[in-house]
């Protein structure tokens, strides 16, 4: 069986990423993004890319990266989820990077790996592996994640041979910010445009598919990190909140809820880890692992955030407590790269269960 644990190196990586997120982010300034939108938190992103160099984890050394892989990127994403960090790691360092990797591209990928540029794949954020259509016509594509503030846009355009993958400089088209449910991963409407054709036909299709697969596989780790953080914060809160002359966490009704949530979160961790591992090994079970992880972790993240709001009581309903940031990120991520319902549908035939 695939190794589902973390190596010492990964533990060390986690610690540095967590430290960076704690240094450069605080919930109040993150909440501020809802009033004054920005593509990402510059300091946190700089720290990830320049100090820690994690934007290049998926990229081999000879192409300008660090030569690690999805397992390590998954650890970074767990920490990003934990901090609801407004950084384009999933969209640029995972999805767009994977598209370029698949194509053997080496110029732009080095810039992405070094954090000198960011890129986004231009498809609706609900697109999922095996179920997406290349862009038709001139209507803006929406809602696209990671496009606000990106330097490069990867636009899969429909043509007679199926797909043409265009690399378009952001300055050469229109990226209109949208009011997003989760402003920590702002969405945009992107007007299609032509640019350098990176690939056509099957090659182009395969590259986009690889990007979406990597995205779906690793989003699960972000969701797991978010869920775990909600659980920890809530456990802490109910230990300290006194009602009826005792901590509310001493009521069995609350204990049982949190014990159940612990179970879900733990299972989400295993599912996410397995998806990252099968991606790293290009394992034959990869497609199953991804659908399982997406179907499971998406709902666990939402459930954990919803429990956090509820168990924080009236405070959980306020703008002041950071809990709402988690709920908004979790609910949006549940829709990203395919809802659980769609992933269950995709999974059935893979394990020979159909209607």
Task: Name the site residues for ligand FAD (rule: CB under 6 A).
Answer: 241, 243-244, 248, 251, 253-254, 310-311, 313-314, 317
> What is the helix (H) or strand (E) element at residue 158, kind and residue range?
strand 152-159
Per-residue CA distances from 241 to 148, 207, 230 (Å) = 40, 51, 16
Q: Does 318 help bind other proteins (rule: CB under 8 A)?
A: yes
Name residues contacting other proteins, limited to 166-205 (CB under 8 A).
178-183, 187
245 binds, among other proteins, ligand FAD, none (CB under 5 to 8 A by kind): other proteins
Q: Cα–Cα distances in Å, from 50 out to 39, 55, 71, 78? A: 18, 9, 20, 19
179 binds, among ligand FAD, other proteins, none (CB under 5 to 8 A by kind): other proteins
Q: What are the φ/ψ torsions at residue 96 (nearest 5 degrees)?
A: -65, -40
CB of 259 to ligand FAD, least distance (A): 14
Q: Categorise residue 84: left if φ over 0, alpha if ψ from -120 to 50, beta otherwise.
A: left
Least Å distance, CB 111 to other proteins, is 28
Least distance from ligand FAD to the Cβ atom of residue 96, Å: 40
Work out how close the CB of 255 gets to ligand FAD at its nearest, in angstroms, rounded to a whole number.
9
Place of tokens 């010492």: 8
Q: For residues 20 and 47, what is the distance between their CA atoms, to the nearest angstrom?
A: 7
| Phi, psi of 246, rounded to the nearest 5 degrees | -155, 160
306 binds, among ligand FAD, other proteins, none (CB under 5 to 8 A by kind): other proteins
Closer to ligand FAD at the Cβ: 241 or 331?
Answer: 241
Alpha carbon distances (Å) from 221 to 28, 46, 79: 24, 22, 9
Examine residue 7 and tell whether it contacts other proteins (CB under 8 A).
Answer: no
Is 266 or 310 the residue whose CB approaches other proteins more closely?
Answer: 310
Q: In whole angstroms, how far apart are CA 62 and each of 53, 102, 178, 283?
A: 15, 15, 38, 24
**Footprint on residues 42-101 left by other proteins (CB under 8 A):** none
Give least dist CB 258 to other proteins, A.
12
Q: Which of 137, 160, 282, 314 binds other proteins (CB under 8 A)?
A: 314
Choose the contact partner of 11 out of other proteins, ligand FAD, none; CB within 5 to 8 A by kind.
none
The closest alpha carbon to 30, from 93, 84, 102, belongs to 84
Indicate whether 209 belongs to the interface with other proteins (CB under 8 A).
no
C-beta of 41 vs 102, nearer to other proteins: 41
Segment contacting other proteins (CB under 8 A): 61-69, 230-238, 241-249, 283-291?
241-249
For residue 115, give the nearest of 98, 97, 100 by alpha carbon.
97
CB hemisphere CA count around 328 (13 angstroms): 23
Binding at 336: pick from other proteins, ligand FAD, none (beta carbon under 5-8 Å per type):
other proteins
83: three-class secondary structure by DSSP: coil
Which of 206, 331 has the CB closer to other proteins?
331
Joined tokens for residue 58 = 């998926």
**Binding site residues, other proteins, CB under 8 A:** 34-35, 124-126, 142-143, 178-183, 187, 242-246, 248, 251, 253-254, 302, 306, 309-310, 313-314, 316-320, 324, 327, 331-332, 334-336, 339, 341, 344-345, 355
């Amino acid at each position: 069986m695939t190794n589902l644990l973390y190596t010492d190196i990964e533990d060390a990586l986690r610690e540095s990423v967590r430290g960076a997120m704690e240094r450069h982010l605080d919930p109040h300034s993150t909440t501020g993004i809802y009033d004054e939108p920005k593509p990402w938190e510059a300091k946190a992103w700089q720290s990830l890319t320049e100090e820690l160099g994690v934007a290049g984890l998926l990229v081999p050394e000879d192409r300008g990266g660090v030569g690690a892989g999805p397992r390590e990127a998954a650890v970074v994403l767990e920490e990003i989820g934990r901090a609801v960090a407004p950084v384009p790691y999933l969209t640029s360092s995972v999805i767009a990077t994977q598209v370029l990797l698949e194509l053997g591209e080496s110029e732009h990928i080095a810039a992405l790996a070094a954090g000198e540029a960011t890129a986004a794949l231009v498809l609706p954020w609900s697109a999922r592996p095996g179920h997406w259509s290349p862009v038709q016509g001139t209507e803006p594509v929406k809602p696209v994640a990671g496009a606000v503030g990106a330097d490069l846009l990867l636009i899969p355009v429909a043509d007679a041979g199926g797909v043409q993958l265009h690399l378009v400089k952001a300055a050469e088209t229109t990226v209109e910010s949208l009011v997003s449910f989760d402003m920590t991963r702002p969405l945009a409407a992107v007007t299609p445009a032509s640019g350098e054709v990176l690939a056509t036909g099957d090659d182009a299709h395969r590259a986009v598919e690889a990007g979406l697969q990597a995205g779906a596989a690793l989003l699960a780790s972000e969701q797991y990190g978010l869920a775990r953080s909600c659980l920890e914060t809530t456990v802490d809160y109910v230990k300290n909140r006194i009602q009826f002359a005792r901590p509310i966490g001493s009521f069995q009704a609350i204990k049982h809820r949190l014990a159940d949530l612990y179970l879900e979160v733990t299972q989400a961790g295993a599912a996410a880890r397995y998806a990252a591992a099968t991606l790293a090994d290009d394992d034959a079970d990869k497609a199953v692992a991804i659908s399982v992880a997406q179907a499971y972790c998406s709902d666990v993240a939402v459930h954990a955030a919803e429990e956090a709001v509820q168990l924080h009581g009236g405070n959980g309903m306020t703008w002041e407590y950071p809990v709402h940031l988690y709920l908004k990120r979790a609910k949006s991520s549940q829709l990203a790269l395919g809802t659980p319902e769609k992933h269950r549908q995709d999974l059935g035939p893979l394990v020979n269960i159909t209607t």
